[in-house]
Amino acid sequence: MAAKERIVYQPYVRGARGAVKPGTPVPCRTAEEALRRAEKAMASASVVGAHVVRIMADEEAGDYGDPEYLASLGTVPHVD
């Protein structure tokens, strides 16, 4: 099977002692949908930050490409 594009909205929340920790990643159909979800969550203050990530994945073969960070909002961990 060929690799397919996967778009994920990765929220970040406050953890113990104010640390930023990842929330549950949300698969989205498009980068625009992921960005809308991130902006809505940021506006409601339910999350402190978010990444919108694209990855190419062949899940049957277990092959996953490097993530491409499309957007970063609010407080998020540093990514190289």
C-alpha separations of 14 from 46, 73, 77 in Å: 9, 14, 12
pLDDT of residue 3: 86
pTM, 2 dp: 0.84
- What tens digit of pLDDT does each residue of 4-57 get? 999 999 999 998 888 899 999 999 999 999 999 999 999 998 899 999 999 999
Q: Is the pLDDT assigned to residue 1 strictly greater than 70?
A: no
pLDDT of residue 16: 85
| Max Cα distance, the chain (Å) | 45
| Cα distance between residue 2 and residue 9, in whole Å | 23
